[in-house]
Structure 1
Amino acid sequence: MNVLKKHTLKFISIIVLVVVVGAIGWYQSAQADGSSTPGNIDDPIVTKSYVDQAVAKLVKAELDKKTGGKESGSATLEVVTLPWGSKLIVEDGAEIIVRSGKAVAYSSDKNGLSDLTDGLDIAPGKPLANNHLILAPRGGRGVEADPKQAKGLIVLVRGGYKVE
């Protein structure tokens, strides 16, 4: 009989051990499955406006990294009136549309502007057609009034520029 008691005691000990280990495992999984109350420190509730502001800050930070924190040119077309004898010098990638007057291309080197409407390259000193979209692929280029006329120009500009 002594052997029977020994096996029974062993069997009961194993069952108790399995039950205790199972209970501990169940308790830990219940704590880790996210059953915490929404809105507490472990599971905060945020509003859409908070998320929008946080995302906007991150996007601005990434854009500042890419552009070095500098503002690029204006995204809208700006009307510029050029008096006769002055030049409109634009920055890299600026766009120009001549609205009034006769204009010629200006460049400090032998390269000129791109007429995107007709798909042509315009050498310095050559006339620009009115109402055509002109691209300055590099800075230091622009337009000036045709020396054969006595009036200035009205142009639309998108991007950085200066009037000389």
Structure 2
Amino acid sequence: MRVINHGGRAGLEQAGRWLDVEIASDGWFTSDPMAVYARWDELRELAREADFTDAEPVDEAQLGAPVPRPRQIFAVGLNYRAHARESGLDLPEAPFVFTKFPASVTGPYTTVELPTKTVMSEPPTMSSRTSPPISEDSSSALRTRATRPRGSLLHAHRPCDTGPDRAGRRRP
């Protein structure tokens, strides 16, 4: 069983079918996907007792991020050999941990448009090597290079599973 965000509503999914948490709990929970995490033990109890007999099929187009408004995001980069190899970088002694803006979270089927110009940033190895294109038909590739502004820590920006930050975009 999984906790899902189905059309902006908290849900429980099992075998491709889902229950609305607010309805299944007779209003004990709200429909807000973020609210269930503050009451995790109670949600687990509801999930154990849930009856999926009349559950609706999951509409994959309605799936959103299960945690749509996180307070913070920690990302991990270069944490396995294949990732380092595809980035053209050496595997570091320890993976790089960095933060992302909460606006970078998206659902599993959201189209994220990349900027039309090449994005320049800094990999942790101080290398100026160009990263490979994201896809062969991609109109823009992400390139990275290192800079260390005076008086600051090394800033490293790498592509991440959460996608580009979308804070400046209009919401539909």
Whether the TM-score (by the shorter chain) exceeds 0.5 is: no
Give the TM interval when normalised to the shorter protein: under 0.3
Give the structure-2-normalised TM-score. 0.20
Q: Which structure shows the bigger proportion of residues in helix conformation?
A: 1
Higher strand content, 1 or 2 = 1
TM-score, scaled to structure 1: 0.21
Between structure 1 and structure 2, the one with the greater Rg is 1
Higher-RCO chain (CA-CA 8 Å, sequence separation at least 6): 1
